């Protein structure tokens, strides 16, 4: 079954989204991620979307929901690697990534999370 890998890096988990999201894959990701947060006692989640050319309302909501789930499990979420065109589209469409922090890239995201989980 298709699934998105979740990589552990110390107290953080890294998710790299590089395939088209659909309902079932999004649900599998949320299941896997919440399970891994608990199992690995993760304190932060990095979601990399550097290969996504488009972030529509479905993906936006999926990311918001994932961040909200992580939050109730005491983990912070940072979205990294957003392409300039995606940022433009998000604002033009009026989509807000509610409750999601962003950082330029994985390195900056790790720094941001490390400050928050200290």
Q: By the criterion CB under 8 A, which residues form the site for a copy of itself? A: 3-5, 7-10, 14, 16, 18-19, 48, 50-51, 81, 105-107, 110
Count of H-run helices and E-run strands, the chain? 4, 5
The least distance separating a copy of itself from the CB of residue 50, rounded to whole angstroms, comes to 5
The least distance separating a copy of itself from the CB of residue 94, rounded to whole angstroms, comes to 27
How are strands ordered across the β-sheet holding 44-48? 6-9, 12-16, 44-48, 76-80, 101-103
CB nearer a copy of itself, residue 20 or residue 23: 20
CB nearer a copy of itself, residue 24 or residue 98: 24
CB nearer a copy of itself, residue 49 or residue 100: 49
Q: What is the 8-class DSSP label of residue 102?
A: E
CB nearer a copy of itself, residue 9 or residue 38: 9
Give Cβ neighbours of residue 26 (< 8 Å, ≥ 6 apart). 58, 62
The least distance separating a copy of itself from the CB of residue 45, rounded to whole angstroms, comes to 14
Longest dimension (CA), the chain: 39
Task: Report d(CA 2, CA 11) in Å as an integer.
Answer: 25
The least distance separating a copy of itself from the CB of residue 71, rounded to whole angstroms, comes to 23
């Amino acid at each position: 079954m298709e699934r998105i890998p979740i990589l552990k890096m110390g107290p953080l988990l890294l998710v790299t989204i590089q395939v088209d999201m659909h309902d079932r894959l999004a649900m599998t990701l949320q299941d896997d991620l919440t399970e891994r947060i608990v199992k690995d006692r993760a304190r932060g989640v990095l979601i990399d979307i550097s290969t996504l050319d488009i972030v529509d309302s479905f993906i936006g909501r999926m990311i918001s929901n994932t961040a909200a789930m992580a939050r109730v499990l005491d983990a912070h979420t940072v979205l990294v690697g957003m392409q300039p065109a995606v940022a433009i589209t998000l604002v033009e469409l009026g989509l807000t990534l509610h409750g999601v922090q962003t950082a330029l890239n994985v390195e900056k995201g790790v720094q941001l999370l490390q400050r928050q989980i200290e």
